[in-house]
A and B are shown apart, each in its own frame.
Chain A
């Protein structure tokens, strides 16, 4: 296996496009998302918006992928696969590699169905000039799940077509042939063989077999899928050779920097060179006050950064927001609540008896991948090339074309490796800046943000406030739960308004807020309030905060019932396939963690889980220093059922990374607004988890017979906060319901009377 990256070929691709072949139209799956939206409009017209919104939320929860219609990838073999002159096969990757290992796991899918050896596949990142396009981008833990079916069919189709051709070339029946090296050979006489390239070169008009006749391998015959294949991108990542957006270079390249608004609502009033005039290395100032743009191009990055600081800019500040004002906005009450789940009559039950109520909160948080946003743009007449660390090259292409006022077809966006994404690199601002500066100066321009720019100028994870009220019946079972969830926009920041109208609740903000346990009366209502801070995608979206609330509350109900928290969860799983899968995962984590045996001296355990297509259960083992108020997370045991596992070691790496993210968000990470601006400077104001605080992570992948893969990059982040909080309650008898669990909050909780 070799990894071939377009970004390292910095010359514009002048390779002649291979002769176009004719292909039958590929089959398209039924478009679930569009179907749901179409149907729901009718429902909405008939029943009114609340019913529409409930219907949409239920439909999304029931569908495999939110909005799967626009995530549909093509199945035409030549879009994915090409036979090289040496008869190796080249696989084009439309998904980007940001550390989640998809260039390897997706390659495994292709190799499996092609039947070739691992070393005979070459992986290349597709750029937007490829017909293999992906309107959604890379995120949402959808890469393997959405590539699996289409790529299997594309690869099996390719193999079948080549085999048919080989049969004709060798004058043998197809069934007598098998893949041997980089071609087909007669099974009984390997001397009779023909290479892939000779087969492919002669073909101009192929017909794909019908879906039923595609020779797909049986899942239990897989030999590549399900193996811990070594990642294709790692060798270049330990030798410094891997190229990211920040590393892109062209001859005669210049460096750009752009002035940043001093406050959240600031608008540019005037800008000029000011004291930057004549500074060494400065090439050109680029100012468009109407567009709010004031930038500079220089011959070194240091010179560009120094010059932009010295430029004269005046801003209208707008309202100087304070943190308390923003927190008041996300109260889950009053107008605008959208009910996203309703069964039975929770309000009726809760109004009758003694109810338990608790409020959970989480703060703003920043994705802050260690590679800050970066792009290189080369804008020439009729052709724009942009290399960028992006999770959505198609979105970048459209926005760059719009900003430059050129046709989208003239813009080619080349995704590089990403030095982390975590949702933040669906933003493309840096690529637009580089393009505008390159256009103005007439040379390639690289823009790389510094850390302070990166912390303040992207979108954040919105704060949340979740109020849960519940009641037990006489047998100690959960009889009713009402969940009121307040937050801001996550997905809706990036979606057209009409979709927000149709959907009502922002699925990105509400993910994890449904009550999936078997509770006869349950209602979940979400409030989405626009904030003066840009909020959006973050690893797991609202999953981390909502699961913290729901799974902490379930623990509180278990305590009220006097039940073992793990058994309590098992006792409330729905009698369904997902209930049984979750049960198996909970039992696996019980075994892995030694649940039911005493924890080591001074430590306590807490359990939490998340029910979705991917099932996750975790047990955190912690200790609390009652003098300093520090919580130490020693060990997190995690069991996951993510359906069919393509690369077990890669899946485990995702579990480990998610646990670290979860622990960081549980103990450390928080951002504030102060005097109209995010109070974020550099990492001293937003420290990250280090190896010293990093727990040991043990994981197990539970096989419940899933035949398709589900997401793995985000679900394991869900339960971490609740597992730690539940362990804290087990250790101290107290609860911390506001994240992060800082030493101050710990000492406060320990000093308070009662829980």
Chain B
């Protein structure tokens, strides 16, 4: 089984029906993607498949072989262990001091990054709708909302600067 994660190809000896979440965490050691419910309700396991936000706890390996899989570990621009530049969503989550326990945050950030790529100028209602499939038990919702809106503005600014 061939998996392409964060731009790197891995060959895995794993059952076809194993869920992507456990292959990422337990076989590849990419523990940044979290287990929350296992049934696609809480969003803690959100990753990108060809750019789309997907719940990895439901996704059989056979269905994602050959796809571009992106996890939280690959979201920032890095050089080895050094972070060169955070994704604007990650930066906004720091700026607003969003995480408390942090367990849901990889999923929140991956969800937001994919959402903003598709909808660069969301209203607050758009954001609430797009993020409502991601539980935060600590209750960081006020700050998640603010941070996603700020990240949208930052992305729009970067877009403008580039054109």
Contacts and interface: CB of A to CB of B under 8 A. Distances in A.
Is chain B a partner of chain A in the same complex? yes
Interface of A: 98-101, 230-231, 233-244, 246-247, 249, 255, 280, 300-302, 368-372, 417-422, 448, 450-451, 649-650, 653, 656-661, 664, 682-684, 687-692, 694, 696-697
A451 B137 CA distance: 14
Nearest to A656: B142
B122 interface: no
A371 B103 contact: yes
B105 to A, nearest CB: 5
Q: Which of B29, B30, B44, B102 has the most CB of A within 10 A?
A: B102
A98 B101 contact: yes
Given A370-B104, A370-B137, A683-B37, 9 more contacts: A99-B138, A234-B93, A239-B73, A239-B75, A369-B137, A653-B143, A657-B138, A688-B137, A690-B134
B56 interface: no
A649 B139 contact: no
A369 B139 CA distance: 11
Contact of A684 (B41, B127, B142): B41
Contact of A239 (B32, B42, B128, B142): B32
Contacts of A233: 99, 102
B100 A101 contact: yes
Contacts of B31: 240, 243, 246-247, 249
Q: Which 3 A-B pairs give the minimum distances between C-beta atoms?
A: A240-B32, A660-B139, A419-B103
B32 A241 contact: yes
Contacts of A659: 139
A237 B41 contact: no
B109 interface: yes
30 contacts: A99-B138, A234-B102, A237-B102, A237-B105, A238-B93, A240-B73, A240-B106, A246-B35, A249-B29, A300-B22, A302-B19, A370-B36, A370-B44, A370-B135, A372-B35, A417-B101, A417-B102, A420-B137, A450-B38, A653-B100, A656-B142, A657-B100, A684-B39, A684-B41, A690-B131, A690-B132, A690-B135, A691-B132, A692-B128, A692-B129
Contacts of B133: 690
Contacts of A689: 139, 141
Contact of A691 (B26, B36, B109, B131): B131
Interface in B36-81: 36-39, 41-42, 44, 71-73, 75-76
> Would you call the interface of chain A mostly helix, strand, loop, or mixed?
loop
Interface residues of B, number: 60
A658 B139 contact: yes
Nearest to A649: B97
A242 B132 CA distance: 24
A206 B105 CA distance: 46
B39 A451 contact: yes
Contact of A683 (B76, B93, B135): B135
Given A656-B140, A661-B139, A690-B132, A371 B32 contact: no
Contacts of A241: 32, 73
B86 interface: yes
Interface of B: 14-15, 18-19, 22, 25-26, 29-39, 41-42, 44, 71-73, 75-76, 83, 86, 90, 93-94, 97-106, 109, 127-129, 131-145
A302 B36 contact: no
Contacts of B26: 249, 255, 300-301
Contacts of B141: 656, 660, 689-691, 694
Given A240-B71, A451-B38, A451-B39, A234 B97 contact: yes
A100 B42 CA distance: 21
A640 to B, nearest CB: 16
A682 B37 contact: yes
A234 B72 CA distance: 14
Contacts of A247: 25, 31
Contacts of A694: 128, 139, 141-142, 145
A664 B36 CA distance: 18
A161 B38 CA distance: 54
A418 B71 CA distance: 21
B113 to A, nearest CB: 11
A70 to B, nearest CB: 26
B42 to A, nearest CB: 6
Contacts of A239: 32, 72-73, 75-76, 83, 86, 90
Nearest to A696: B142
Contact of A370 (B19, B34, B94, B142): B34
Given A302-B19, A689-B139, A99 B102 contact: yes
A420 B97 contact: no
Contact of A301 (B22, B32, B103): B22
B99 A419 contact: no
Nearest to B101: A99
Given A239-B32, A691-B131, A418 B101 contact: yes
A243 B128 CA distance: 28
Given A420-B137, A689-B139, A371 B100 contact: no
Q: Which of B42, B99, B101 has the most CB of A within 10 A?
A: B101
Contact of B35 (A231, A448, A664): A448
Contacts of A696: 142
A123 to B, nearest CB: 16
Nearest to B27: A300
Contact of B18 (A300, A370, A691): A300
Q: Which of A236, A302, A448 has the most CB of B within 10 A?
A: A302
Nearest to B81: A241
Given A240-B72, A249-B29, A691 B38 contact: no
Contact of A238 (B15, B41, B105): B105
A230 B104 CA distance: 20
Contacts of A682: 37-39, 41
B21 to A, nearest CB: 10
A444 B33 CA distance: 22
A660 B141 CA distance: 8
A691 B73 contact: no
A448 B44 CA distance: 15
B18 A302 contact: yes
Contacts of B100: 99-101, 653, 657
A300 B28 CA distance: 12
Nearest to A636: B142
B94 A368 contact: no
Contacts of B37: 451, 682-683
Contacts of B101: 98-99, 369-371, 417-421
Contacts of A692: 128-129, 132
